[in-house]
Amino acid sequence: MITGQGITKTFRQRGGVLGAREVRALRGVDFAVGRGGAVSFIGESGCGKTTLGRIIAGLEGHDSGEITVDGVAMSSLRPRARRPYFRRIQLIHQDPYSALNPTRTVYQALLAPLALRARQTGRPASWVDGRAGELLDLVGLDPDYVLPRYPHQLSGGMRQRVVIARALTVDPEMLVADEAVSMIDVSLRLGILALLRDLRERLGVSVLFITHDVATARYIGDDGELYVIYRGQVVERGPVETIISAPVHPYTQALLSAIPVLHGLERPGAQPVAPTGTLEEDKPDAGCLFARRCPFATARCAEEVPVLGRTGDIPQEHACFHPEARSVVAVPAGRA
């Protein structure tokens, strides 16, 4: 189980005509991902998703809050002692080409981490070759074809499968997939998403999926949880199917309205919820962060901060004073 409590992160950006400024990338994010579980963080560009993924994978520090891995608080350990824990959390980047060294064959890319793994687990060096083949099989690649090849000789989908196989060399507990299919040809995306779902079932590895596209989040697993994040804050959280079929936060509704196709959810008469303004415009931090763009905001929203939690008989958690399941759905394909 990997958890985060109250994770905050502020970047200080220097330069530019406006001089230095602070960007509050994360404002107290809580999450929990159990063994074999699937959690998706969705939100528009700049909402803090990538920052969160990097913090969870141990690649970026945070200002306050706590990450625990199997009950061990990372803040209680020295940086060196944290490494074996963070090694269990492997990040899959959106660009598989830049993640692989172009001068190394797939065999060479897998050799180093597998040799290290063999030493760590007391296995003979001969184990490495067999394991490389097993891992490629597991990600749906033919080892004989792929092992001697360089990244440029493979398709984008195959390269991403190699990256996933390499992440599996350390027997991870969780894969953090940051827009893992966004740079892959549309025809190959579903295959990668199905692979991640399959790995959850076969290996019990959990998947934390970071995306701006809720339709892809669904494929990771219907049993998954969705976290909708806006300006560094989780505004709605719950089972993926509940949130997609009955979102209650106006920001989630706006996100879903922006999706051109969501098969099976097109309802006649549904009206898209259109947020007003842009992300940059709503600078003030008082009250609800979404208030200035929200079509349903009242005076209360500008003054009081809504806290993530449940109200009434709404099943999912939300941070909104006026939650209401609205019929938002996407414009069917071709009519966007």
Name the site residues for ligand ATP (rule: CB under 6 A).
11, 13, 23, 25, 43, 45-51, 212
CB-wise, 49 or 93, nearer to ligand ATP? 49
- Report the nearest approach of ligand ATP to the CB of residue 11 (Å): 3
CB-wise, 9 or 326, nearer to ligand ATP? 9
CB-wise, 17 or 299, nearer to ligand ATP? 17
- Report the nearest approach of ligand ATP to the CB of residue 34 (Å): 24
**Rounded Cα gap, residues 323 and 249, in angstroms:** 6
Sheet containing 64-69, strands listed edge to edge, beginning at the edge strand earlier in sequence: 21-33, 2-13, 64-69, 72-73
**Rounded Cα gap, residues 320 and 212, in angstroms:** 21
**Rounded Cα gap, residues 326 and 330, in angstroms:** 12
CB-wise, 49 or 249, nearer to ligand ATP? 49
- Report the nearest approach of ligand ATP to the CB of residue 42 (Å): 9
- Report the nearest approach of ligand ATP to the CB of residue 271 (Å): 27
CB-wise, 25 or 193, nearer to ligand ATP? 25
CB-wise, 45 or 121, nearer to ligand ATP? 45
CB-wise, 123 or 292, nearer to ligand ATP? 292
- Report the nearest approach of ligand ATP to the CB of residue 208 (Å): 13
Q: Which residue, chain included where needed, has tokens 């940051």? A: 178
Sheet containing 174-178, strands listed edge to edge, beginning at the edge strand earlier in sequence: 89-92, 174-178, 206-211, 38-42, 225-230, 233-239, 317-318
Quote the strand ranges of 58-108, DSSP E.
64-69, 72-73, 89-92
- Report the nearest approach of ligand ATP to the CB of residue 96 (Å): 17
- Report the nearest approach of ligand ATP to the CB of residue 94 (Å): 9
In angstroms, the first-to-last Cα distance of the chain is: 40
Smallest CA-to-CA distance from 249 within 108, 42, 87 is with 42
CA distances in angstroms from 282 to 50, 250, 251, 288, 292, listed in the order given? 21, 15, 13, 10, 6
Count Cβ atoms below 10 Å from residue 101 Cβ, excluding itself.
11
